[in-house]
Amino acid sequence: TRLYGWLHDYQITVFESTPALIVPFMDHIESQGLDISSLRLLITSSDSCSVRDYRRLQERFGSQVRIINAYGVTEAAIDSSFYDEPLAKLPAVGSVPIGKAWLNARFYIVDAHLNPVPVGVAGELCIGGPGVARGYLNRQELTSEKFVVNPYIAGERLYRTGDLARWMADGNVDFIGRIDHQVKIRGYRIELGEIETVMLRFADVKQAVVIDLADEQGNKYLAGYAVCAEELDLSALQTYLQQSLPSHMVPSRLMALATMPLTPNGKLNRKALPVPEESVFAGADYVAPRTTVEQTLAIIWQAVLGVRSVGIWDNFFELGGDSIKALQVSSRL
């Protein structure tokens, strides 16, 4: 209410903020029938905006206000690109593209050696142009790491964003996620953003996040979190992911949340995500071991996999098993 009061009293024309703030704020505007006639431009930025939320904003307010999605970093003068395409070009699911470089910025998507990658191939997004900062004050080592010589334009610097992105066929850029959100589990390098995109395709999932955690034995596993409009059937979601992803990319544990935890500035706070409880462990319906052999196997699986209970229909690999853990089971048997 106070935010709307400022917008109305000062006749604000441009409003830019995170999707986590803009989406509920505009829901409030619509539900209360409030006047936003002063507003000319609405910009979602500073965090990924889901296609679902962006489409709803466009369908409800696009005739009154120009709505675009922005991307940028402080090291390159904040907003460096805008996605401003007709609604028909919006992807069906996932996150809204970050668009094309704007005015004083140039985009490069490169491999680890700063070589450009082809269209559709993921690489690190680097920013060039006069908007790039000189470096970090009194932090020469970090400056040398993140601000590098542009191999394509003499005398220019590139800022290595640490963001993973890919060129789309129409020249827009698709933001995938942070490079430090790449994880390696059971020998596989996994892009967490790709799993999140698949989760967003399921039923009424509004938001999805995947992180890697470690069990009591220090073994890594994938945990998936979803915010859904209705009560979420975790078993059905797990089945869908098994059908849509390679087995090593299917989260071992799933959890439904009412809302995602946010930082004070409205961005997703991954560190505040709760550890999924055993009750939401992805797996088959629990059927207790019946015979002495089954009970012995269950005890060994529990010890090796770091889980509190194992049923006779549980899948070893869905519970976090791999070839190394299989050898541990064999030796204990």
Q: How many whole angstroms separate alpha carbon 327 and alpha carbon 56?
A: 51
What pLDDT digit, counting tens, does each position of 159-184 carry? 999 999 999 999 999 998 888 777 77
Residue 123: helix, strand or coil by DSSP?
strand
Q: Give percent above pLDDT 70 in the chain.
A: 94
Confidence of residue 218 (pLDDT cuts 50, 70, 90): low
What is the chain's mean pLDDT, rounded? Answer: 88
Residue 283 has pLDDT above 60, yes or no: no
Residue 284 has pLDDT above 70, yes or no: no
User: Top-level CATH class of 284-333?
Assistant: mainly alpha
Q: What is the per-residue pLDDT for 217?
A: 59
Confidence of residue 216 (pLDDT cuts 50, 70, 90): low
Quick one: CATH architecture of 2-178?
A: 3-Layer(aba) Sandwich (3.40)
Q: What is the per-residue pLDDT for 312?
A: 87
Q: Where are the domains of the chain?
A: 2-178, 186-282, 284-333
Averaged pLDDT, 191-207: 87
Task: Specify the CATH number for 186-282; select among 2.60.40.1180, 3.30.300.30, 3.30.1330.10, 2.40.50.100.
Answer: 3.30.300.30
Averaged pLDDT, 106-112: 95
What pLDDT digit, counting tens, does each position of 290-316 carry? 999 999 999 999 888 877 788 888 888
What pLDDT digit, counting tens, does each position of 230-264 carry? 888 888 898 899 899 988 888 888 889 999 998 88
Q: What is the per-residue pLDDT for 279?
A: 39
Predicted model pTM? 0.69
Residue 5 has pLDDT above 90, yes or no: yes
Q: Give percent above pLDDT 90 in the chain.
A: 53
Confidence of residue 125 (pLDDT cuts 50, 70, 90): very high
Nearest in space to 57 (alpha carbons), one of 100, 25, 14, 32:
25
Q: How many whole angstroms separate alpha carbon 170 and alpha carbon 95?
A: 16
Dump strand ranges (E) for the chain.
14-17, 41-44, 66-73, 78-83, 100-101, 106-110, 123-128, 147-149, 157-167, 173-178, 182-185, 188-191, 205-214, 220-228, 253-257
